[in-house]
Amino acid sequence: MMKNKFLAFICSIFVCLSFVSCEDNSNPFVGVWKEGVSQWDFKSSGAFVRTANYYISDAKKWTDTGTYFYNEEEGTLTLSYDRTGNTYVRTVKYVSYSSIVYYDPSDMTVWNLTRVE
């Protein structure tokens, strides 16, 4: 009887651990990225924080916050900024764990993100 309770306890621990380790890693944007002199922090909640001039020690730093949505099927990234209320849809050209390239289809401005964390 004691052996069955112990076995049930061990099984329940494995089940709990399997749920804890099942993060949704389907969104490649989640993480901290460098883009030029700016740093982007894309949260799993769909929020972002962009710190301009982050990589310039003597420059004035400022932040933008907002929400983002990556649509893998359509190959788009939608960025909505809290301060201005502006929303931009970008075309995602390339995605990997360490690098993301996207561009503005209206003027072909290209952004290259390199993973920091």
Has this prediction a pTM greater than 0.95? no
Higher pLDDT, residue 5 or 79: 79
Q: How far apart are CA 34 and CA 10, in angstroms?
A: 43
Q: What is the pLDDT of residues 88-100, one digit of tens each?
A: 999 999 999 999 9
* Strand, coil or helix: 61: coil
Residue in the block written with tokens 């990225």: 33
Chain centroid to CA 3: 45
pLDDT at 26: 82
Among 68, 64, 65, 66, which Cα is nearest to 27's? 68
The yes-or-no verdict on residue 16 having pLDDT over 80 is no
Task: Provide Rg for the chain, Cα atoms.
Answer: 20
Cα distance between residue 38 and residue 44, in whole Å: 20
